[in-house]
Amino acid sequence: MRETQGPLRGVRVVEFAGLGPAPFAAMLLSDMGADVVRIDRPGAPVETRDCTLRGRHLAQLDLKSAAGQAAALALIEQADVLIEGFRPGVMERLGLGPDDCLARRPALVYGRMTGWGQSGPRMHAAGHDINYISLPGALEAIGTRESPLPPLNLVGDYGGGALYLLTGVLAALLESRTSGQGQVVDAAMCDGVASLMAPIMGMGATGLWRGGRASNMLDGGAHYYRTYACADGRHVAVGAIEPQFYALLRERAGLDDPAFDAQHDAARWPALSARLAEVMKQRTRDEWCALFAGTDACVTPVLSLEEAPADPHLAARGTFVQHQGRLQPAPAPRFSRTPSCIQQAPADRAVEVGTLLDRWRGATPGFIQD
């Protein structure tokens, strides 16, 4: 056995296996030192390549059986946090809903991750990230003039979902330390996405945001805040908002045409974007990056996932790490006194619940089995 690391050392989490944001939140909790047990169904394939499954123990239980329910409740009795990502009502039908669990463990923080939330007309409807970001208005604002484009699953599943679940769980855990009482955290992706849109709504209220995609400073409308294709078909990202940064962009790119003086004239952005696009096609991506190196022009390469780990800045910070032969993102954020770490690789086999209970009941918190 070895000692865990991180600010959540000693916090015990039961995660019910699911997809997307809930497992990602459990990974973050584990990276920060929490002791996480993932409950999956018997015979479920054990995936050891997915880094979002790192850092926890695996228990396989038939939750439709009395024995499986009893084993799950025994773990929950020793836990500080529960995370589940099923549709509303599923855990209740299994006898593992909030009332059942809080009766056994009054201080439990019960985290519920769904797309639509635990109430409302859509609560039982199916959906995916693209649906959860379309309803609150985020998807309409992202994409080209012609069509909205889904921004991977970063906005709904992980930004509006997992990170809001994590924020709620940690806030409730902090409160429970003083009150001795747990509570339910209802984390709905549609709610989280709406919350993420607060800065854009604020800009709209002050006249700094207009309707229509690719028409604003931050949505690709401005010539000084967008991506450009280079001579080799690769891209650079330009973010020269402030006047001093814009001046450096113009200087290095040779944009001496007086037309570029009108940096913030939105009516001229399409023409200036077209002109700058022509300029950017005169050099390769790496040639442009070499030209802008060491300046504050805010020009960076658009790197692929294969290229990113070798970037000098990311390599110097160890933003990506090798763990047991697999390259993956390092834990984030970073703590000065209680650093996070990848506690262990994804489990390659299930552990008996009795073994986990013996460790949780009798062992010193903060130790994990190698």
User: Which residues are the active-site residues?
Assistant: 128, 157
Residue 81 pairs in a beta bridge with 13, 109
Task: Give Rg (Cα) of the chain.
Answer: 24
Q: Is 137 left (phi over 0), alpha (psi -120 to 50) or beta?
A: left
- CA dist., res. 338 & res. 326, Å (int): 24
Residue for token digits 């973050």?
28
Contacts of 17 (CB under 8 A, 6+ apart): 23, 38, 39, 40, 41, 44
Q: Which two tokens stand for residue 209?
A: 């945001």
d(CA 113, CA 165): 7
For the purposes of burial, counting CB atoms within 10 Å of the CB of 42, is it exposed (0-12), middle (13-18) or buried (19 or more)? exposed
CA distances from 233 to 95, 275, 284, 285, 291 (A): 56, 17, 8, 8, 18
Alpha carbon distance 107, 184 (integer Å): 11
